[in-house]
Structure 1
Amino acid sequence: MPEDVGDGDGAAAAAAVRLSHGVPLGDALAVADPGAWLTLDAGVRSVPHWRLQHLSWWNSAAQFSGLTGPDESRLALALCHGDGRVRQEAVHQAAGYPGLLPLVMIRCADWAAPVREAARRLLREALDLDAALALAPLVLRVGRRDRGAFGVDALGEVLRRAPLESLEPLFAHRDRAVRRFAYRTAVEGRLIGPAELARVAAEDEDTVVQDLCASAALTAVGDEDVYEEVLLPLLSARNPRTRSAGVTALRRAGRPAEAEAFLADRSALVRACARYVVRQHGGDPAAWYRKRCAAPEGLGPPPGAVSGLAECGESADAGLLWPLLAHPADGVRARAVAGLRALDRVDTHRLRPLLDDPAPGVVRETAVALLPYVAELPADLLLERTGPSRPRHVRIGALRLLDALGGLVALRAAVGLLEDPDETVRTRAGRSVQGWRPSAHVRLRDPEVGELLERSCHLMSEAALRRRKWEAGVGS
């Protein structure tokens, strides 16, 4: 069965039987759903012939061709017939039935060349703008099949000749593939101006549409007059991919100095593009970051400047980051910890206090920074931070480090947190228990290990529990 057909065999068979009894097409299946046509096409051939009543032509193309004015339901079934000669004759007779155009479209990718060519001739004649708009989702799904490119090309030709306003339903279509195809067609046909392309790139939620429209809009950036219409929407876009495209275009637009404002952007991608433009203009991003990070505490650097310094600075720049661990802004403290890790200047003694930071983001970054050095941390210090009096994010950070430390203390902490009042902590503790393995730090035949494993037996199979006990030397 083709890959774009789902598990709709039963529904397709039921629709085929209804059609065989003369039920109108619109009542037999959901004609607006492209998947319904595809499942019908595949499902008809799976229905036993005796269930398709009143169809004396079913196994005879000659009998079918002799029918006078077969109804739409019969034609629909014939277009899905297993015999290529019946399908071919059905295509010839389908010219007067616009409701069957979806099945004609499917036959355009038929494995039998005579059927395929007949269907393509009919589609070429019948595919006007209204039909193209209605068939677009089905055309694109069939287009993924072998020999399916014809329909996609035909659809593109019709849409490129259409006025822009007629494509609006496709631009807003719920099917992502349809929206992408519509915008790609409009861009190739130059149906959308740069300003509108920039607006779409800034507002659309699909990254493919963002990139497509941003790239097309930026082809006009060489003209100074388009700055307000094109670059400003891109530079103010919420999504970082579009902002980065706008920042990179500042150089080509002759406005590289404006890239400096994006050196501290919240996105690493945008910051990297901004550094490129600034360097091309002769600037020094690292010096800019150092100046911001050394600003008096009241002014304080934006979090993006802290990250930027770590991204392009040197090991000596850690001296600017250490004081920021006490900055009042949570984001600055978190970025400072991440920056020290990136510069390979982690000091476990100085970072340990941040495991109790009131900001979850700071504790999370601190735990990540300390993971390679967990052996230097006192196990009791970590175990203490899993107690119920500690904030949730502190308990989770301590458990993460205990996981890395391993041994009995890790199992003890995880099992203790299985009864934590917070569901997130309990879930994290459960995963820790399931992943626990005895290590060199675990004393063989330690009865506490067996007790802890028994308390967590509901998290694993009997076989897994026996294996853990055997590995720890406490199995029977």
Structure 2
Amino acid sequence: MDSIQRLVHLAERGRRAALDDLAGALCSAVADDQLARQALDVVTAAGPKLWIELDGALRPWLYGYRDPRITMAPVAQRMGNPLAVALAACGRDGREREKAVGHPLMATDVRLLPVLVIRAVDWVPAVQNEALRVLTGALTPPDAAALRAVVPMAVRLAERQRGRAVAELARQALLRADDDTLDAVRRCEDLRGRRFAFEVSLQAGRMDRRQLAAAALRESDIISRARCAQVLAAQAIDGDRPELVEELLESKSARVRVEALTALVRLGRTDYGLRFLDDNASMVRLTAQWAVRREGEDPADFYRQRLVAAGNAGGLLAGLGDCGTAADADLVLPHLEDPRPRVRAEAVRTLRRLGAKAELGGMLEDPAPVVVRQVVATLRALGVGVPVERLWALLGPGHPRHVRHAAHRLLVDRDPWTRIRADLLLADDPDEVLSLRARTDLAMWCSRDAASAYANCPDELRAEVANLLSRVEAAVGADTARVLRWLIRTGS
């Protein structure tokens, strides 16, 4: 069992060889009833994806090839225990698969239902039809445990050529289930199965307002959470009942807050817009700004008035960036010195979005990488130059990695020979991250852009670049070095 558990763990992580070994181990374990029962429990607990892959491993794709590890014990052929039935249902012979599908355990042992679903998309019509017949019986009446085993498999196999029938069978079973059973399936651990159950429930109107609100606030799947909020918002609008969505405004999900706020604004409650103008989520801020405009006011005025004594400066700066102008730059500049890195980064980003040019070169040495990334993006977008001597100094080994990387990005944006020199300087740097970036950039330039580079190598750089190339030739590779030497020699 230790071996089987280890192989299941490795197979879940995508190790194909472990999957083949697991198939062989199960074929050996099937001879012992107790071991077979434990092994089946482990495989079942691993989830639907493993059974789908294991089905292929038990039946190698190469015609005429038989994996010596996969040798069915006689007990598997006699189907003397549930694991034996499962293995027989995954065998090569279509007649044997059909026989296994019709075994009484297939309809009564929940652990075998994933295999039954696989056979419901079998390429042999007789096997497929028999599997669909048995599966229909197993889901009559719909049982929570059976549905939680079937639905995740049916959702995945619906993508196959013959998968539509089994997906529709699962859908109809969910529709026939009572409310408690349907609620249990919506709480299954498998994400795709849970999402399918939610969608079926929503389309059929099988969730009341309390359930919709609870799912919109607490469901872990963002898609299902947003869909429940969307349905509840539609009910609030149709019934002119804003109280149905007011509690959704406290959701941690931006998409849920947007659905709730949109519904309230459409119901005439535009006053809610002011509460969310400084929301950290862009989609929520934009919705709030729309609400304020419907009141005939300019949301930019709100940001201008609040920004001086801001508690949530990040959200206010972002909001000003949404709807302000370059003339608002003076309101942003003081926040470049905020002690909080995220606020400084948002201030730099806001200047870029406003199109306001400012002296940001000094912030290239900011201790926070998030700030320096925004500084580089702003300098590049607004075309604000930094003295090249300053960038060469920042490229040196005495600075943190994020500062050196920023200097490198700004240097490679200049002329080709500045780019080559910067790449060569870092090509054998002790910092492997920076070194790899430089070598990759140099190789890409040589293969893609060198043929169209017509700028002559400046005389004052020619000797330095040649010496640098000699020093790092082993690091950059023979092909890149040959192209660069030719460019240096020919003067182009």
- Shorter-chain TM range is 0.7 to 0.9
One-letter amino acid of the counterpart of residue 376, structure 2: A
Among candidates 157, 164, 167, match of residue 152 of structure 1: 167
Q: For the residues of structure 2 that align with 1:91 and 1:335, how far apart are their CA atoms?
A: 61
**Post-superposition shift, 1:270?**
1.2
Determine whether 1:122 maps to 2:129.
no
User: 1:353 maps to which residue?
Assistant: 362
Matches of 1:411 and 1:387, distance apart in 2: 16
Match for 1:269: what amino acid? Answer: M
Q: Residue in 1 aligned with 2:8?
A: none
Cα deviation, residue 126, structure 1: 1.4
Q: For 1:317-365, what per-residue CA distance to the aligned partner results, in whole angstroms no more than 9, with x for missing partners?
A: 4454455545666555433432332233324xx3333334455444332
Is 1:10 aligned to 2:20, yes or no? Answer: yes
- Given that 1:201 and 1:210 are in contact with CA atoms closer than 8 Å, whether structure 2 keeps it comes out as yes
**Aligned counterparts of 2:334 and 2:151: Cα–Cα separation in 1:** 59
Tell me whether 1:288 sits opposite 2:302 in the alignment: yes
Correspondence 1:368 to 2:380: no
> What pairs with 1:36-435 in structure 2 (closer than 5 Å)?
36-46=50-60, 48=66, 52=71, 75-94=85-104, 98-99=108-109, 100-127=112-139, 128-129=142-143, 130-166=145-181, 170-222=185-237, 227=243, 230-232=245-247, 234-293=248-307, 295=308, 298=309, 302-318=313-329, 320-322=331-333, 324-325=335-336, 330-347=341-358, 350-357=359-366, 359-372=368-381, 376-390=385-399, 393-407=402-416, 409-410=418-419, 426-435=432-441
Judge conservation of contact 1:211–1:241 (CA < 8 Å) in 2: yes
CA distance in 2, matches of 1:77, 1:392: 55
1:390-432 Cα offsets, whole Å, 9 max, x none, are 45544333232123225555555556567878x5xx5135303
Quote the offset at 1:245 in angstroms.
Answer: 1.9
Distance in 2, matches of 1:383 and 1:460, equals 21
For the structure 1 residues 450 and 104, does the alpha-carbon distance in structure 2 shift closer, same or farther, using more than 3 Å as the test? same
Partners in 1 of 2:257 and 2:412 — Cα distance?
Answer: 39
Aligned-residue offset at 1:12? 6.3
Deviation at 1:173, TM superposition (A): 3.9
1:373/1:183 CA distance change after superposition, 3 Å: closer
Distance 1:452 1:56, change over 3 A: same
C-alpha RMSD of the superposition: 4.0
1:26 to 37, 40, 53: 37
Classify the secondary structure of the residue corresponding to 1:446: helix
| Equivalent position SS for 2:395 | coil
TM-score when normalising by structure 1: 0.78
CA distance in structure 1 between the aligned counterparts of 2:310 and 2:130, rounded to whole angstroms: 74
Check whether the contact 1:91–1:118 (CA below 8 A) recurs between aligned residues: yes
Q: Is the 8 A contact 1:379 1:409 kept in 2?
A: no
Question: In structure 2, how many angstroms separate the alpha carbons of the residues matched to 1:450 and 1:249?
Answer: 66
Secondary structure, counterpart of 2:360 in structure 1: helix
Per-residue CA distance 1:445-465 (angstroms, 9 max, x = gap): 823223323444454433333
Q: Report the TM-score when normalising by structure 2.
A: 0.76
| Contact 2:408 2:422 survives alignment (8 Å) | yes
In the TM superposition, what is the alpha-carbon distance from 1:124 to its structure 2 partner? 0.8
Question: How far apart, in 1, do the equivalents of 2:30 and 2:436 lie?
Answer: 56
Contact 2:427–2:439 (8 Å) recurs in 1: no
1:473 aligns with 2:489: yes
Does the CA-based 8 Å contact 1:414-1:430 persist in structure 2?
no
- Cα deviation, 1:74-122, whole Å, max 9, x if unaligned, reads 6445433444444334434446763443333222212233332222121
- Contact map agreement 1:12 1:44 (CA 8 A) in 2: no
Secondary structure of the structure 2 residue equivalent to 1:230: helix
Which amino acid is the alignment partner of residue 313 of structure 1?
G
Which residue is 2:479 aligned to?
A: 463
Tell me the SS of whatever aligns to 1:111: coil
Q: Deviation of residue 170 (structure 1)? A: 4.3
Change (3 A) 1:205 1:454: farther
Name the SS of the counterpart of 2:413 in structure 1: helix
In structure 2, what is the equivalent of residue 64 of structure 1?
A: none
Of 383-392 and 242-251, the range deviating more from structure 2: 383-392
Matched to 1:121, the amino acid is R
- CA distance in 1 between partners of 2:205 and 2:261 (Å): 24
What is the count of residue pairs matched by the alignment?
452
Choose 408-417 or 249-258, whichever is displaced more.
Answer: 408-417
Distance 1:90 1:413, change over 3 A: closer
Change beyond 3 A, Cα 1:317–1:31: closer
Contact 1:262 1:274 in 2 (8 A): yes
CA distance in 2, matches of 1:192, 1:57: 44
SS of the residue 2:236 aligns to: coil
Contact residue 94 and residue 124 of structure 2 kept, 8 A: yes
Kindly state the Cα deviation for residue 206 of structure 1 after the two structures are TM-superposed: 2.9
Q: 1:18 to 1:474 in 2, by over 3 A?
A: farther
Deviation at 1:274, TM superposition (A): 1.2
